[in-house]
Chains A and B, each alone.
Chain A
Amino acid sequence: MNVASNSTESIYSQTFGSEEPMSERVASLLVCGAAACVAMTFLWLVFDVFWSGLPFLSFDFLVDVPSSAGRRGGIGPILVSTLLILGVCMVVSLPLGLGAALFLSEYTSENTTSSRLVRYSLDILAGVPSIVFGLFGNAFFCIYLGMGFSILSGGLTLACMVLPLLIRSAEEGLRSVPDEYRAGAAALALSHTRALFQIILPSALPGIMVGLVLGLGRAIAETAALIFTSGYVDRFPDSLMDSGRALSIHIYDLSMNVPGGNNNAYASATVLLALLLCINAVANTFAHCWHRNLTAEAST
């Protein structure tokens, strides 16, 4: 999903030849029908979740402790655990991903064997199913490194998962920095470090932020990778070594394992969808101002 390239330059306005034959009308009907189907399904899903979830949503729901396995009460501790897991994930993956992206796009050429190998392995990493990350996180972080079922293991597992996405968007942001800037920095005999922190990073910032926000969205939506790493415990966590239940796991548990949990599952799904819509809006804003900067750059 590439938020940055919003150039929907439709060829609609293009004048085509005669649209008489039957096959032409059938094709138009099928294409528009497919589009209508997809749009209807999306609206059905979103309205259904919000319609059934909003009546159960209140401030108390957001801060209360769940009771009776989540049938009653709220999602306070679950929101806290979710935020902690996301925090761990971002604190680890952001510097690592940014560093890797900087190395790949600024300090090595694309054709060296090492950069090609790194890219290959990142491509494969991006395709690894989330349940496989769950297995890996359980074997590596929980058992091999002895972290047990904890927010830390969950966050680290998610960090591995969002890394390829972060690197790719950061690279895209860095590629949009005009080469004149680098040449200018070199002409002023700036050290790489100063050029990086004072010129390249600031101008690539919006692109990097888009990546960060997309990574956040991917991490908050994740369930399968967290089941065997951060666990199910729905108390307020005392530390990062405590097990904590993420919002998505709460929805899964309420709808599958708790009879009569559907109302709270709807309300939690509403919260999750609302969070994701916010994240998406933020990403779009960044992408938008980045796009505007670029076009302003081009016109001067």
Chain B
Amino acid sequence: MSPYRTDRILIGTLRCAAVVSGLIVAVVALFLVSESVPALRQIGPYRFFTDSAWHPAPHSGESTFNLVPMIVGTLTVTAGALALATPLGLGSAMFLRFYAPPKLGVIYRKIIELLAGIPSVVFGFWGLVTIVPLINSIHAPGASLLAGICILAIMILPTVALVSDAAFEVVPKEYVKGAAALGLSRWATIRGVVIPSAKSGLFTAIILQTGRALGETMAVLMVCGNVVQVPKSVFEPVRTLTANIALEMAYALDPHRSALFVSGLLLLTLVAGLVLLADVLSRRYECSQ
């Protein structure tokens, strides 16, 4: 115990700051749950999957709350974006660390960092004025699942690249030198030595980006077309869970509003699950080291 009174005040204050910061996530969860409870009581969790359609506030007749098209939309956009961004991001990280001459590497890293900082609304706007017309010229209507996948892939790619690069960085230099001493070529070293030992870091990168892609709102809202349907091809418009919240929250009244909070809660649960999974994976890896 410190003899100074100011010290006790200081440490008390700092502890308060830490506790408040730690509690924010609990308050967020608490409010989402409490706003979702009316819908979960009135509508029940099953109707979100079994109702005939998403008509939360019809002019006549009964409201229906089928979230399945939006869930499918979110999952397909995310899966597509990951399928596109993972190889490109990994390739970028390999280029940065193993292929680029030092000067080019520095410039390329700057580009990736700047790309990571571009706001999602700018990605969305750019997608709307360039990518959507481009896809429209191949297959109408342009604002589609494919446009969402492309924009989202560009958005998550820089972080995939930066986190994979960090994972490559911790691979012991001796491994690479040993591989070179054995006469392994560049690609054989990457495939046989670097990737296996950086595997857990790479997995963590991909899991965290999955969370980011699931929760992305503005860009997908602006390029996906936002029609509530289960898409039959990549050229059809879709609406994601996040876009649904952004579009309808402005005028939603209960129980519609509460139903939107249910979809927010669903997103929060998914993302929290992914964060915990990433943590468990990296911890298990640390233990095995």
Residues of A within 8 A of B (CB): 1-3, 5-8, 10-21, 23-24, 27-28, 30-35, 37-39, 41-42, 44-46, 48-49, 95-100, 102-104, 107-108, 115, 117-118, 120-136, 138-140, 144, 160, 163, 167, 191-193, 196, 217, 220-224, 227-228, 248-249, 251-252, 255-256, 262, 265, 269, 272-273, 276-277, 279-280
Q: Give a binary string over B207-218; 1 marks a CB under 8 Å from any A CB, 0 the rest.
A: 010011011111
Residue of A nearest to B270 (CB): A129
A7, A39, A103 pick with most chain B CB within 10 angstroms: A103
Task: Report which of A121, A140, A221 forms a contact with B25, defined as CB distance below 8 A.
Answer: A121
The closest CB in chain B to the CB of A276 belongs to B117
The 6 lowest CB-CB distance pairs between A and B, nearest first, are A129-B215, A99-B17, A34-B91, A221-B119, A118-B22, A17-B183
Question: Which of B54-62, B64-72, B99-107 sits within the interface?
Answer: B99-107
Are B35 and A272 in contact, CB atoms less than 8 angstroms apart?
A: no
Scoring A10, A120, A167, A269 by chain B CB atoms within 10 A of each residue's CB, the highest score goes to A10
Contact A273:B28 (CB < 8 A) given known A16-B185, A39-B111, A224-B218: no
Contacts of B35 in A (CB 8 A): 135, 139
CB contacts (< 8 Å) of B24 on chain A: these are 121, 125, 160, 163
How far is B251's CA from A277's CA once the two chains are assembled, in angstroms? 36
B95 touches A31 (CB 8 A): yes
Given the complex, which residues of B lie within 8 Å of A95, measured CB to CB? Answer: 17
Q: Does B268 lie at the interface of the complex (its beta carbon under 8 Å from any beta carbon of A)? A: yes
* Set of chain B residues within 8 Å of A3, measured between Cβ atoms: 113
Cβ–Cβ contact A139 & B275, under 8 A: no
**How many angstroms from the CA of A108 to the CA of B267 in the assembled complex?**
33
Interface residue ranges of B111-143 to A (CB < 8 Å): 111-126, 128-130
Minimum CB–CB distance for A182 against chain B, Å? 14
Contact (Cβ within 8 A) B28 A35:
no
Given contacts A16-B185, A132-B215, contact A255 B129 (CB under 8 A): yes
With a CB–CB cut-off of 8 A, which chain A residues contact B130?
A: 44, 48
Please give the distance in Å from A15's CB to the nearest CB on chain B. 6
Report chain A residues within 8 Å CB of B154.
41, 45
State in angstroms the CA–CA spacing of A276 and B122 once bound together.
Answer: 11
B196 → chain A closest CB, angstroms: 16
CB-contact partner of B180 in A10, A15, A100, A128, under 8 A:
A15
- Report B-chain residues with C-beta under 8 Å of the C-beta of A196: 10
**Of the residues B15, B28, B100, B122, contact of A49 by C-beta under 8 Å:** B122
Stretch of B1-9, B42-50, B231-239 with 4 or more beta carbons under 8 angstroms from chain A: B1-9
B19, B28, B88: the one contacting A136 at CB < 8 Å is: B28
Q: Are A132 and B11 interface neighbours, CB within 8 A?
A: no
Contacts of A121 in B (CB 8 A): 22-26
B23 CB, min distance to chain A CBs, angstroms: 8
CB contact between A39 and one of B19, B108, B125 (< 8 Å): that residue: B108
Complexed CA–CA distance, A103 and B208 (Å): 27
Given B11, B98, B121, B161, which contacts A12 in the complex, CB threshold below 8 Å? B98
> Which B residues lie within 8 Å of A115 (CB)?
18
Q: Count B-side interface residues using an 8 Å CB cutoff.
A: 110
Contacts of A269 on B, CB cut-off 8 Å?
121-122, 125-126
Which residues does B use to contact A, with CB under 8 Å? Answer: 2, 4, 6-7, 10-11, 13-28, 31-32, 34-35, 87-88, 90-92, 94-102, 105-106, 108-109, 111-126, 128-130, 154, 157-159, 161-162, 166, 169, 176-177, 180, 182-191, 208, 211-212, 214-218, 221-222, 242, 245-246, 249-250, 260-261, 264, 267-268, 271-272, 274-276, 279
- Smallest beta-carbon distance B183→chain A, Å: 4
Instruction: Tell me how far the C-beta of A118 lies from the nearest C-beta in chain B, rounded to whole angstroms.
Output: 4
Query: Are A124 and B275 neighbours in the complex by a CB distance under 8 Å?
Result: yes
Residue in contact with A272 in the complex, picked from B105, B106, B122, CB distance below 8 Å: B122
Contacts of B119 in A (CB 8 A): 220-223, 248, 272, 276
Residues of A contacting B25 in the complex (Cβ-Cβ under 8 angstroms): 121-122, 124-125, 128
The prevalent SS among residues of A at the interface is: helix
A280–B238 Cα distance when bound, in Å, is 34
Among B105, B126, B157, the most chain A Cβ lie within 10 Å of the Cβ of: B126
Task: Looking at the assembled complex, report how far the CB atom of A234 sits from the nearest CB atom of chain B, in whole angstroms.
Answer: 16
Minimum distance in angstroms from B74 CB to a CB of chain A = 11
A42 x B115 contact (CB < 8 A): yes
Are B27 and A224 in contact, CB atoms less than 8 angstroms apart? Answer: no
Chain A positions within 8 Å of B101 at CB level: 10, 12
Distance in Å from the Cβ of B222 to the closest Cβ of chain A?
Answer: 6
A35 and B14 CA atoms in complex are apart in Å by: 45
Tell me whether B272 and A127 are in contact (CB under 8 A). yes
Residues of B within 8 A of A224 (CB): 120, 217-218, 242, 246
